[in-house]
Amino acid sequence: MFDWIFYIVAGGLALLSLIFLVVAIRALRGRHWIGSMGSGGTCALFLALAALAATLGFSTQGYRALTLEEVAATITTVPTGEAEFQAFVEFPDGRDTTFHVLGEQLIVDAHILKWHPWANILGIHTHYELDRLGGRYSEIEDERSRPRSLHSLKSDKPADLFHLARRYTLLAILVDTEYGSASYIRVDRPARFEVRVSTTGLLIREISLQPPPVVPPDQ
């Protein structure tokens, strides 16, 4: 995670804002009205930028910095009936959860946000966050008529980076592009999958099922 970079920038801008506030107060005491107004305006500007940087720091919580390809989640699926299954989801940070899913296929999608190249110099790289997990049917008619299920994979945070990027045009100087990516795979037997995020999008790979734990005999 690179949200700490935003906090450092916010702290630096807040410090500059305080410096210009002191300059403005001294100019005001010396009755240098123009200098006081200029310093006060600069103080307000740096304070607004500090607030924006802090907001970006909060909003990137839950997002992960993407470098090449990495595991975003591991999902173990167990069919429980016709076109339904249980999905046990394990996240890299240690969290886990279980969903009941309707459908013949597992589908996962994610938000991906790419910054402008100059922002990469500051250590701000592509970020992503898993968004939803659901079921999918092979046939279009089934997709239209049969029941479906959808579950959120997002973590709670004070602000959402994607919503901020859409709402504030000022973020255009930082954000290169934002997009969604999804991948799906058929679930017809017990299986274990890695959900991976790469620079080209989301993908799901099947991996070997972990063997059941060995229970030692009673002593």
The pTM of this model reads 0.61
Instruction: Give the model's pLDDT for residue 73.
Output: 94
Instruction: Give the model's pLDDT for residue 219.
Output: 46
Q: Which regions in the chain score pLDDT beneath 70?
A: 1-7, 20, 23-24, 26-40, 43, 53, 55-68, 117-125, 157-174, 176, 199, 210-219
Among 218, 213, 195, 165, smallest CA distance to 77 is for 195
84 sits in which H/E element: strand 84-90
Structure tokens at 131: 């968004």
Tell me the per-residue pLDDT of 168-188, one tens digit each, with 9 for 90 and over: 665 666 676 778 899 999 999
User: For residues 183 and 56, is the Cβ–Cβ distance under 8 A?
Assistant: no
User: What is the per-residue burial (b if ≥16 Cβ within 10 Å, else e) of 67-104?
Assistant: eeeeebbbbbbeeeeebbbebebebeeeeeeebebbbb
User: CA-CA distance, 74 to 167, in Å (whole number)?
Assistant: 33
User: CA-CA distance, 146 to 106, in Å (whole number)?
Assistant: 15
User: For residues 126 and 198, is the Cβ–Cβ distance under 8 A?
Assistant: no
Structure tokens at 74: 């591991």
Domain coordinates in residue numbering, the chain: 3-59, 64-207
Give the list of residues 6+ apart from residue 217 with CB closer than 8 angstroms, or none: none
Instruction: Give the model's pLDDT for residue 210.
Output: 63
Instruction: Give the model's pLDDT for residue 153.
Output: 93
Instruction: Give the model's pLDDT for residue 129.
Output: 85
